[in-house]
A and B are shown apart, each in its own frame.
Chain A
Amino acid sequence: MTTRAAVRLPRDSTRQAEGLLLGEIGRVLNRWSGLVILAFVAVHVVGQAALRVDALYPLLTVAPLLASFQGDAWVRALLFASATYHSLYGARLIALELGARLSQRGSLVTTIAAALAVALREVVVGAWR
């Protein structure tokens, strides 16, 4: 270990198959979070429509949750976490495209942490309610 402020050496590339593939994790989470958002919107639209359109009302007898699921703390946690993650990840991509120098590990950890924090808040506050 060197203690003085040192010139950076090239990295050690002999353990590539040992670490996590951060890019894969980030990308896959982005995909899932996007799907969650889309799924939420789709279900929510159908549910709200069922409330307001007579022809669709029977759907609610089959699946009453359609209109109310967005009140569930876990559903909101999942949605908000996904929206947070997806937005931050998107912002990160744009920043990188524009030339920003971001640490891959640091920005990914921050993004996941923010999403988890948002989710946690929903669950805690929701449970308290």
Chain B
Amino acid sequence: MSEDLVRIERTDVLVAGCGGAGMRAAIEARAKGASVVLLAKGPVRANHTRMSGGRYNVVTGLNPEDSVDHFFRDTITGGADINNQVLARILVEEALDRAYDLESYGLVWERKTPADYLVVGSGGGSRLRTLGSFDEGIGVSEVMLHRSLRDGTVIREFQMLVDVVQDDDRRVVGGLVLDLARGQWVLYKCGALIIATGGTSQLYETNSGPAINTGDGIAIAYRAGAELIDIEHMQFIPIAFVYPPSIKGYTLTEPQQYGMRHFDVKGEPGKLLNTKGERFILKHDPVAREGGTRDVLARAIMLEILEGRGTPEGGVWLEPDSRVFEAFLHERPIYAKRILENYGERAARFEEPFQVMPSALYTTGGVRIDTWGRTTVAGLYAAGEAAGGVHGANRLGGNSMPDIQVFGRRAGLTAAQESLDAAPPSKAAIARAEARARELDAILLRDAGVRPPHVKRQVQRLMWNQVGLVRNGAGLTDALTRIDALRDQVLPSLRVTSRTRVVNREWMEAIELENMLDVAEAMAVAALARTETRGAHYRQDFPTRDDPVWLANLYCRRVSGRPQVEKRPLVTLTATAAPVGAQAAG
């Protein structure tokens, strides 16, 4: 193949992903003097951070009843006790400094008085500790973008990281990138590559994520030999829009937001009712009720729907407390607007109940990282939703915003320092990258076959039904068989309508499908292995939590082309932190 196939570029640090984690990593790497190129798969504002409500859990000192220990406890309890406690401790301790960083970039936290931030509650929080800005996730992503631009991060849009380039010792020395705007291949030689590509929400039929979150970075890291952790845990937001189809699945935050519980931990949240008018959460969690954690709520709602007590449209009813309407409108006007536009004025005014359903939101597990964002592959780092371990089996609402800041920064800092050690890629490494590019170019040339959009829908339906909120051994085994079939028979026969190289969506989706299937397979294998119910992972055949056997994490690695899982003890504060690449001390 001609040397024109792959254009070569060079940078110290290559960041894949334009959300909060990627941006924060870029800012920090630039601060350490590294040259940074940040790749966005589409326009730079298309990311999951953008879509977030931007709620930020942190101990500011403004609530005398709260402390870092309480925040830590809530995080571990919310994670069903399998969080990496060292990472969780770092999260709760560094959240405040990172909140100030955001403020320094131009994010203005809402407040009641000039000096004091407004502090509210969130699901699973035993104390009020949640901050927010009026511009929500939009504000977070915008201030970080402008700060990154000013600091000299080179941001390139329509650049899809397809694979990493590894030397013979498996060290990552570059990234193979498809320039979607021009249809050209680019090999970025880099000293360090940070995976900040977000999660896997697009694997599910009903989801709350952006179209680009097809698990690319997680799959790329997995194929490169990195370990994944807790990959069986997928968080479903309990309440999301049920209709119309255009907004189906978009989060409506949490039931606690719709009641006095948002302002007072003893208050009532918005109530969830089935078609019989029963407040079904009382069967599952009579203490926290609708103010509890997302895993319990989502499962409860899903079971009501599956057992026939849901609405014809496929949801249950949320009954908001009309007394908090004005506060809600004041705090979350964007959500009020969407409720108005899709559910009508009475629902928007909290004058009548409206329909809600669970929706795939957040990949709780992901690429295993150490405290400094290193994966188990040299030269490869991860942060944000793509990384795993911080949140255990379930993430608290409001914990993702500090996560991306805290671990984004750590990954950027480390990447900048360690990029100086890097050697340029060998000829063999470049040849491998070119071969991969040729392989993916071949998709454009196939004359017959099946088009990606239909296969994508198949995968999404399969995952929703069998690797979703309600799982069992038979369904998971069957899912694996189907995923294998899709990979072996369908993937090699994907074709596109047009050979144009510029912004070819089908081509992009064909490449995404390989990533989706890799991650789907890992998720299904891990879900099959964990024979208990914990957090978001609910097994009908093992419906209870089994601490004696399963108070542990599942680590997943690619062995002979298949995911292999291994159970290992927790990383606790008392045990020594496991060195990267080795088994944790028991």
Contact = CB atoms under 8 A, between A and B. Distances in A.
Contact between A and B in the complex (any CB pair below 8 Å): yes
A2 interface: yes
B377 to A, nearest CB: 46
A18 to B, nearest CB: 14
Contacts of A71: none
A80 B540 CA distance: 80
A9 B345 contact: yes
Interface string B336-355: 11001100011011010000
B308 interface: no
Nearest to B334: A10
B12 to A, nearest CB: 43
Interface string A1-21: 110001101111110000000
Contacts of A9: 329, 336-337, 340, 345, 348-349
Interface centre among A1, A6, A12 (most CB of B within 10 A): A12
Interface string B306-325: 00000000000000000001
11 contacts: A2-B351, A6-B349, A7-B329, A7-B349, A9-B336, A9-B340, A10-B337, A11-B337, A12-B340, A13-B341, A14-B341
A87 to B, nearest CB: 38
A10 B336 contact: yes
Contacts of A1: 345
Contacts of B349: 2, 6-7, 9
Considering the complex of A and B, which 5 residue pairs feature the smallest CB-CB distances, nearest first? Answer: A10-B337, A12-B341, A14-B341, A10-B333, A9-B340
Interface of A: 1-2, 6-7, 9-14
B341 A2 contact: no
A108 to B, nearest CB: 25
A9 B337 CA distance: 7
Interface residues of B, number: 14
Contacts of B334: 10
A13 B342 CA distance: 11
Contact of A7 (B326, B337, B340): B326
Contacts of A2: 345-346, 349, 351
Contacts of A6: 349
A6 to B, nearest CB: 7
The B interface is mostly helix, strand or loop, or mixed, namely helix
A2 B345 CA distance: 8
B248 to A, nearest CB: 15
Nearest to A10: B337
Contacts of A12: 337, 340-341
A6 B333 CA distance: 15
Nearest to A1: B345
Interface centre among A1, A10, A12 (most CB of B within 10 A): A10
Nearest to A11: B337
A62 to B, nearest CB: 61
A6 B340 CA distance: 14
Contacts of B351: 2
A11 B329 CA distance: 12
Interface centre among A1, A9, A12 (most CB of B within 10 A): A9
A9 B348 CA distance: 8
A13 B334 CA distance: 11
Interface in B254-295: none
A12 B343 CA distance: 11
A11 B336 CA distance: 10
A12 B344 CA distance: 10
B542 to A, nearest CB: 45
A6 B346 CA distance: 11
Given A7-B326, A7-B329, A13 B345 contact: no
Interface centre among B325, B326, B340 (most CB of A within 10 A): B340
Nearest to A15: B341
A19 B347 CA distance: 25
B340 A10 contact: yes
A1 B337 CA distance: 16
Contacts of A7: 325-326, 329, 349
Contacts of B333: 10
Contacts of B341: 12-14
A77 to B, nearest CB: 44
A14 B338 CA distance: 10
A54 to B, nearest CB: 69
A102 to B, nearest CB: 23
Contacts of A13: 337, 341
A13 B325 CA distance: 21
Nearest to A6: B349
A5 to B, nearest CB: 13
A9 B336 CA distance: 7
Contacts of B337: 9-13
A14 B342 CA distance: 10
Contacts of B348: 9
A12 B342 CA distance: 9
B288 to A, nearest CB: 30
Nearest to B342: A14
A7 B351 CA distance: 13
Contacts of B340: 9-10, 12
A109 B351 CA distance: 34
Contacts of A10: 333-334, 336-337, 340
Nearest to B335: A10
A49 to B, nearest CB: 59
A40 to B, nearest CB: 47
A14 B339 CA distance: 12
B326 to A, nearest CB: 6
A68 to B, nearest CB: 58
Given A1-B345, A9-B337, A10-B340, 8 more contacts: A2-B346, A2-B351, A9-B336, A10-B336, A11-B337, A12-B340, A13-B337, A13-B341
Nearest to B246: A14
B241 to A, nearest CB: 14
Contacts of B346: 2
A20 to B, nearest CB: 20
Nearest to B337: A10
A59 B364 CA distance: 86
A99 to B, nearest CB: 22
Contacts of B329: 7, 9
Contacts of B325: 7
Nearest to B346: A2
Interface centre among B325, B341, B348 (most CB of A within 10 A): B341
B347 to A, nearest CB: 11
A2 B336 CA distance: 16
